[in-house]
Amino acid sequence: MSPLYARLRFFLAGLFLIMIFGTVGFMHTENLSLSDAFYFNIVTITTVGYGDIHPVTQTGKMLAVLLILMGTGTFLGVVANATEVMLSRHESQARHRKLHLIIGVYFSEVGTRLLSLCAQADPQREQFCAGLAITINWSDQQFLQATKKLRECTFEVQLERIDLPELQGFLAGQRRTLVNMLENPILLEHENFTEHLQAVFHLNEELGFRPNFDHLPQADSKHLTGDINRAYGSLVGQWLSYMLYLKQHYPYLYSLSVRTNPFNPEASATFYE
């Protein structure tokens, strides 16, 4: 629980106890009914003070002073913290939307194409393609099941099946995009996505330092394969999570993403009835 919510609960608990104490106290000291005592307690704590009911006994007056000193601060604490919680929640939602907007740009510019290149070089592709054949009518439960199945899958490419010069050129052309995203402080709130970006940026660096890919030593081929698989494996999970977000919030973007699913060999942006 965040400190903000903990403070709000503390002030609410304090206000609740003070209201009980004050109501019961006024019932006994001023001989008021339950409803009148509760009413008098509220106008005292909130300092409204309509004056239609006022303490007539010395004990009741001291109780009213005590409630003003203790209850008013507690009441204001509840109001202040409740307002802060609402503002914090609104700010969090705004950051959440901005975060997914950035992730959407990433998939539009880099992610979907990179995922397609890697999936084409994955010899196990046919085994898990059916589980990732997302349709327009997929339910949240189907996304949950697909996410669970991902944990059981191993996403690994065969280096000889991937066009390394094409991959190198593609990532080199997206270097500025990757740098801008890594510099964006909002992404720091999404640790997994940030780690994926770092993996892709590192892969871009590794490919960029090789003038050609002819006759790569076995050790170097193994090293590059590991770098590609690191980016590929993390990308699949990010892609599935992003697809669920689009389904829930942006159906029109979800429709296009389904039609261009990189795990669908027959994917096409063209819409058919």
Q: Annotate 86-116 with DSSP letters as a single string.
A: HHHHHHHHHHHHHHHHHHHHHIIIIIHHHHH
pLDDT (0 to 100) of residue 260: 87
How far apart are the two ends of the chain, measured CA to CA in Å? 49
pLDDT confidence bin for 273, thresholds 50/70/90: low
Do 18 and 68 touch, CB atoms closer than 8 A? no
For residue 87 the two structure tokens come to 């503002």
CA distance linking residue 148 with residue 164, whole number of Å: 31
Confidence of residue 120 (pLDDT cuts 50, 70, 90): confident
- Name the residue with higher pLDDT: 265 or 137: 137
Cβ atoms of 182 and 197 within 8 Å: the answer is yes
Total H helices, total E strands in the chain: 11, 0
Give the pLDDT score at 272.
64
CA distance 42 to 56: 17
Give CA–CA dist 10/31, Å, rounded: 31
- Tell me: the pLDDT tens digits for 227-239? 999 999 899 889 9
> For the chain, what's the residue count?
273
Q: What pTM value is reported for the model?
A: 0.71
**If you average pLDDT over residues 178-206, what whole number do you get?**
88
Q: Are the C-beta atoms of residues 238 and 196 closer than 8 Å to each other?
A: yes
Using an 8 Å Cβ cutoff, are 161 and 121 in contact?
A: yes
DSSP 130-162: GGG---TT--HHHHHHHHHHHTT------GGGS
Confidence of residue 1 (pLDDT cuts 50, 70, 90): low
pLDDT at 27 over 80: yes
What is d(CA 112, CA 118) in angstroms, rounded to the nearest whole number?
A: 10
**pLDDT at residue 47, rounded to an integer:** 77
User: What's the pLDDT band for 129 if we cut at 50, 70, 90?
Assistant: low
Arithmetic mean of pLDDT, 79-102: 84
pLDDT of 52 reads 77
User: How far from 237 is each of 29, 92, 104, 113, 209, CA to CA, in Å?
Assistant: 66, 23, 14, 15, 28
The full set of domains in the chain, from first to last, is 3-89 (1.10.287.70), 94-259 (no CATH)
Q: What is the dihedral of CA 125, 128, 129, 135, to 10 degrees?
A: -160
Residue 225 binned pLDDT confidence (cut-offs 50, 70, 90):
very high
Nearest to 16 by CA among 45, 53, 59: 45
User: Where does the pLDDT of residue 166 fall: very low under 50, low under 70, confident under 90, or very high at 90 and above?
Assistant: very high
